[in-house]
A and B are shown apart, each in its own frame.
Chain A
């Protein structure tokens, strides 16, 4: 296993997925569903057939050719956190994907162990059909969790991550089929392979130092040359957990493109949706301006920029500070959590130990402290002026009951503000000499004696 972990992909004659399939041999038979009768089928039908007629009805071709798409969801070395995050998504939500509930959205027939009505062989039947080539619509595969090195476990007759049994053993014996094997068998004919979450996209924590299962990412598993039937390499939606909406929106964007009305979704060089992961999380951080002004949180819970309590935001690709976690609520730094880089291929080992400031931040925080020491007083000065009505300036008094202690600006400050106002108004077209004929000559009573300050 060690060899499979360290050798360069360039030297690999076969991908790890091919190695596993070569070892396991071809699939020759499937479940005899008759034999199982209704076992594991408590509603008498599979989930898709239970949808109401409106949802099942064919999508008029107005928007595009696709009526539905099967999505097989597999969990490898997974905590189910990506599934949980996905159920939290709202734009679109998982239920609207499943019902095809938006104009032009093909219905998604999801095969997900946490959601489906059917269990056992009835649950795995659709995946069998996909492998056999008899499924009634195109399919995509979503992997949550890392791929485990099942060759290592198989050598001693066991497995790391099983999902279902199939008659694929010697002489048609039932054997546990691993998530890795399902993914390897389904990949060649899939319309898209989508990795959700940092485990599936980059290996994540299961592949961190001490990695006992040979865990790796979907890209590592399928290799550089993998292309889906639509010619797409592995799509990666990282995050630990990912933002649910990042995932459902990516799926929807791909579907809109396939329907013909959406633009080609742009993916970056690592297969991430470029429009979601193109910026560092710091650039849209609600605390980013503290960095600019050179003020930093020193204790946990402080409201300022979190870089010095261990935040890696300035060098991490993520959009959680602008999108929030769920329904635009939350976000790590929004709430006070320093970024630990959970969307990144280097997570976690390039970010540990946690709660320690990134060494690279010393240079930039020193500079921003210097710049900030100049900017902050200037801003405070202008801010004071803007916190006053023009009327108060004229009257020389602030009527706020809360502001009894608030001093009036000093003579010097007033001169400065006037100078600043003159600068601001230079080039104001309101000073042009055109005759304002659309109003009365004199200002109405109570109006401003000096139009525009």
Chain B
């Protein structure tokens, strides 16, 4: 393991140190990543093209619909050369959850943080619980961890179909394709679906008609399955999206045999559906790639991904930072960083110390600190690391060259990484460290799954790491992630049955009274590593004298919606849009719908609500706040 940009070295035991002799190792003007095209070059190119032809349009799509939360996308489109020359992703919403958490009793964190995002409901509650447990040294009993895994796997069962059929699906539906790509329609009518025996649609045209909003069969079925999975969640959590059962040290679910059986019968219906879902999202890319090779570039960006892992091993997880590399690698979904298609690490500490957040193009003032030079193991930390970061908000006018979004810019080793539920497949496949399972195998180049028998028979399917990550592969990956998560649900349910058999009933480490007495008085620093419907989720916590003194949430859509960084590297949405060719048919510039951009953006499943908000008065910052967030800063 070595960092490419940051001057951090590792000894044989994996301990990190700063390379000696560099006076300001984290200075953004000294330690720079390799940048493809600089902002000046991009501006000059646009100016050249504008001078040559009049088909360059500057357009702002605000709001972008069929995503969660508030977002706008600005593009400079060259309609003659069919290219997006420039793009800016704008998070347009702020709330201030971390600010509200600060100064509170740590017991408030779970229920307050949960409200950061209501789209994938339980993830923030869980991440907060992990942060608190790590800070306070509370290890949940194995059954508590299993219930959390069951909850969070079921939650993905709601999240993935919601995106594929309600949000992204309509972009591939008959109603859209016939308008934006009419040349494809006769092809779709003639194209026989290879997976007809699984999903039942004879031609691509039939399949696209089923994707039509509100009335399409797949749209409606998707909505119904989100409800089924939500029933599974509320059997355990009482409520959705914000769970009522997450406590520091476990859960408060009253887990009876009926609970397990009801969960089981609902889960049983899902595997047939998962087969249909994968069949649909295998046929869609096959058709589009065949119809026009340029679709390979819709939403394309290099294979640079990050993920902290998801779903703990109930016996390995001990809530400590000291052992996090060991229990982290035992998660169902392995943590990791992949740059240029290569897996660099699976250690959570490496993921943590390479993490920085910048605010050059966000409505904040620079405010890094050196409060924590290292983590508790002695690994060096950047002044831009969430434990060190304060954010000084400064709402102001939008300026593409300066500040234009409330989102901040998280980078790992100063490189642009992407987060997604499909990143879990990538890490787990490459690392080949996942726990043994009868249903899931990591092959190094993909994931092999055994779909258990439902109404349809047992079947083996395989997801392979795509050569080019584009919009179609993100959607295909999401469909396979649906199966992955539901197999984790099944494995966890089997563990729960087994523990029930052994007479194991404890779901939480402490009683409420013990919890009150366990809150420490000294300063504690911790991080909760977890996942969301879109991948990565972290809560960084500092507490002192028993109260929260710093709280930072970083969500996957913060990463993906990030603006330019200090070196001009565009964020993942921006980069994906700029790589997207304009394929749609245009009789004249007024019929330009920008569907190719929308397909690119929506394939990330943007989720903007968990943005933080800060208080200013009359242009003056009246309060210093520590922020990070999802979607917006």
Contact = CB atoms under 8 A, between A and B. Distances in A.
Interface of A: 1, 34, 37-44, 47, 50-52, 55, 75, 77-85, 87-88, 90, 95, 98-99, 113-120, 123-124, 148, 152-153, 155-165, 174, 176, 204-206, 208-215, 240-241, 298-303, 306, 308-310, 320, 324-327, 329-340, 342, 348, 352-357
A42 B104 CA distance: 47
Interface string B505-524: 11110111001100000000
A81 B122 CA distance: 11
17 contacts: A37-B590, A43-B173, A52-B215, A114-B65, A123-B63, A148-B94, A153-B616, A157-B396, A160-B93, A160-B95, A161-B93, A210-B103, A324-B234, A330-B237, A335-B236, A335-B237, A352-B105
Interface in B59-77: 59-70, 72
Contact of A164 (B63, B235, B244): B63
Contacts of B213: 47, 50, 115, 117
- Which of A50, A113, A335 has the most CB atoms of chain B within a 10 A radius of its CB? A335
Contacts of A298: 511
A205 B615 contact: no
B377 interface: no
A117 B595 CA distance: 11
A116 B254 contact: no
Interface stretch (B219-227, B433-441, B454-462): B219-227
Contacts of B97: 205
Contacts of B95: 77, 79, 160, 206, 213, 215
Interface in B111-135: 111-112, 115-119, 121
Contacts of A85: 118, 240-241
A214 to B, nearest CB: 8
B107 interface: yes
A446 B463 CA distance: 67
B600 interface: no
Contacts of A118: 65
Contact of A159 (B60, B92, B100): B92
Contact of B593 (A38, A163, A213): A38
Contacts of B248: 355
Given A88-B240, A161-B93, A335 B245 contact: yes
B170 interface: yes
B508 A299 contact: yes
A354 B259 CA distance: 25
Interface of B: 59-70, 72, 92-97, 99-105, 107-108, 110-112, 115-119, 121, 162, 166-167, 170-171, 173, 175-176, 179-180, 212-215, 220, 223, 226-227, 230-231, 233-245, 247-248, 250-256, 259, 262, 363, 394-398, 505-508, 510-512, 515-516, 589-595, 598, 607, 609-610, 613-620, 623, 625
- Which of A1, A120, A336 has the most CB atoms of chain B within a 10 A radius of its CB? A336
A330 B96 contact: no
A240 B212 CA distance: 31
Contacts of B227: 88, 90, 326-327
Nearest to B106: A353
B117 to A, nearest CB: 5
B576 to A, nearest CB: 17
Given A332-B239, A357-B512, A163 B92 contact: yes
B231 A332 contact: no
B302 to A, nearest CB: 27
B531 to A, nearest CB: 18
Given A42-B180, A118-B65, A213 B214 contact: no
- Closest 9 CB pairs between A and B? A81-B118, A158-B395, A337-B244, A330-B234, A37-B590, A156-B619, A162-B92, A212-B615, A335-B238
A117 B396 contact: no
B96 A206 contact: yes
B613 A77 contact: yes
A80 B395 contact: no
A406 B215 CA distance: 60
Contacts of A50: 175, 212-214
B214 A99 contact: yes
Contacts of A159: 92, 395
A51 B171 contact: no
B51 to A, nearest CB: 23
Contacts, number: 368
Contact of A331 (B61, B162, B238, B242): B238
Contact of A355 (B94, B107, B240): B107
A325 to B, nearest CB: 4
- Which of A88, A158, A348 has the most CB atoms of chain B within a 10 A radius of its CB? A158
A326 B230 contact: yes
Given A43-B176, A212-B100, A336-B252, A355 B238 contact: no
Contacts of A357: 512
B238 A300 contact: no
A75 B92 CA distance: 11
Contacts of A206: 95-96, 100, 613
A335 B235 contact: yes
A113 B70 contact: yes
B70 A161 contact: yes
B242 A81 contact: yes
A265 B413 CA distance: 59
A160 B94 contact: yes
Contact of B115 (A162, A205, A354): A205
B100 A208 contact: yes
B238 A325 contact: yes
B63 A51 contact: no
B385 to A, nearest CB: 23
Given A37-B589, A39-B592, A301-B508, A1 B617 contact: yes
Contacts of A320: 238-239
Nearest to B69: A80
A156 B238 contact: no
- Which of A43, A161, A204, A334 has the most CB atoms of chain B within a 10 A radius of its CB? A43
Contacts of A339: 244
Contacts of B614: 212-213
Contacts of B104: 209-210, 352-353
Contact of B61 (A95, A119, A310): A119
Contact of A336 (B167, B212, B253, B511): B253
B217 to A, nearest CB: 13
Contacts of A327: 227, 231
Nearest to B95: A77
A309 B100 contact: no
Nearest to A321: B238
A346 to B, nearest CB: 14
B108 A354 contact: yes
A240 B92 contact: no
Contact of B592 (A37, A84, A114, A212): A37
Nearest to A239: B239
B45 to A, nearest CB: 23
Contacts of B111: 340, 348, 354
B65 A337 contact: no
A44 B179 contact: yes
Given A34-B590, A79-B116, 14 more contacts: A42-B598, A43-B170, A75-B93, A85-B241, A113-B66, A120-B61, A120-B64, A155-B619, A157-B619, A162-B72, A208-B112, A329-B231, A336-B238, A356-B516
B59 A336 contact: no
A352 to B, nearest CB: 5
B620 to A, nearest CB: 8
A75 B239 contact: no
Contacts of A55: 215
B609 A78 contact: yes
Contact of A148 (B61, B244, B613): B613
A41 B593 contact: yes
B118 A79 contact: yes
A299 B212 CA distance: 49
Given A310-B512, A356-B516, A209 B241 contact: no
A241 B251 contact: no
A123 B590 CA distance: 17
